[in-house]
Amino acid sequence: MKNTKLIIIALAATLIGSCNRADHKSHAQISEMELNAYVLEELVSADQKYSPETYISSSAAVENPNDTTRKVIRTADLKFKVKDVIKATYNIENIVVKHNGFVENTYLTSQIDYTKETTIKEDSILLTTYYSVINTLVLRVPNIQLDATLKEIAQLVDFMDHRTINTKDVTLDLLAKKLEQNRLGNYDSRMRSAVDSKGNRLNDVTEAENNLLSKQQLADEAKLANMQILDKIKFSTITLELYQNQNIKYEVIAKEKPIQSYSTPFGTRFIDALKFGWTIIVEIFLFLINLWAIILIAALVFWGVKYFRKRFSKRKSE
């Protein structure tokens, strides 16, 4: 809003200066330059005031030393632009190691946005590739170092897309897992006593052992779940997505030559056509030979009809 007001003031000053240009041209130009310089200074000052360093962290990322009863899991999810993804990645990894953390996962990729081909020679093409470098990192840092780590990472931010910091209270979850472990531990003790008292009754002992094994598995799962929660409490998780301005790569490649498919020479095609024509004649002749009986009967019928028609015409004339 402040930036908008400054721009409006600048436009108004420019308009007033243009109206009085005939009488106060020199004065208006100086005033306009001074005002533009002031607006530019205010814009830069506002941009520095709301730089990423001021809002990348949060009180949600700070551990309260006075609260010793609550157990919380803190996570941070950020997406921002940097000047150079690879250099920023190395710097972030060094920051994490500095704060006694570690990199859990990193996925660096060059995403091709689109390509363009331009013919520059008869046999050469200029291939222009527009691509974006992106890296996704999953970091683990000690809970007490989360805020300090985020503030150092903020020094690398060129433009902040979004920042999400979550704080989840898992005090009751830990208590529930602890109670579950106690129940299963008591059950394990009772079952072991029951198995020992079965004596030589094999079927009862086998069933009790299987039941005990199942409960021990549940106890192990509860213990592992409790350890996972404690690990997430001790080490906060930071998920980062870094990107930079689109890059352009130029590459000269060979131009593909047009290749015509094979065509049979005219002489060969002419001879093949003669052979094919002769084959058709032979097939027709053989077909007629197969019909010799029908042809013979047709010839006899035709001859008989012609003969009797001739005799009938002769008798009629007499």
Half-sphere exposure of 193 (CA within 13 A, CB side): 5
Q: Which domain holds residue 153?
A: 63-256
**Is residue 273 domain-resident?**
no
Which positions ≥6 away from 133 have C-beta within 8 Å?
A: 85, 86, 108, 109, 110, 111, 243, 244, 247
**Is residue 268 domain-resident?**
no
Identity of residue 118: T
How does pLDDT run along the chain (318 residues), one tens digit per residue?
445 555 555 555 555 555 554 444 444 454 566 656 655 565 555 555 545 555 555 555 555 565 566 788 888 999 999 999 999 999 999 999 999 999 999 999 999 999 998 988 888 899 999 999 999 999 999 988 998 999 999 999 999 998 888 888 877 776 676 766 666 666 666 556 655 565 555 455 556 555 656 666 676 677 777 788 788 888 999 999 999 999 999 999 888 887 778 888 888 888 888 888 888 888 888 887 887 778 788 888 888 887 777 777 767 676
**Is residue 176 domain-resident?**
yes
Which positions ≥6 away from 92 have C-beta within 8 Å?
A: 137, 139, 153, 156, 240, 242
Whether 21 and 32 have beta carbons less than 8 Å apart is answered as no
Task: Indicate whether 80 and 46 sit together in one domain.
Answer: no
Task: Indicate whether 161 and 218 sit together in one domain.
Answer: yes
What is the number of H-type helices and E-type strands within the chain?
8, 6
Nearest Cα residue to 148 out of 228, 216, 234, 53:
53
Which positions ≥6 away from 177 have C-beta within 8 Å?
A: 222, 225, 226, 229
Task: Indicate whether 31 and 91 sit together in one domain.
Answer: no
Which positions ≥6 away from 43 have C-beta within 8 Å?
A: 3, 6
Task: Indicate whether 34 and 115 sit together in one domain.
Answer: no
Whether 165 and 239 have beta carbons less than 8 Å apart is answered as no
Rounded CA Rg of the chain: 46
**Is residue 100 domain-resident?**
yes
Whether pTM exceeds 0.85: no
Task: Indicate whether 11 and 96 sit together in one domain.
Answer: no
Whether 206 and 193 have beta carbons less than 8 Å apart is answered as no
Task: Indicate whether 46 and 81 sit together in one domain.
Answer: no
Task: Indicate whether 131 and 240 sit together in one domain.
Answer: yes
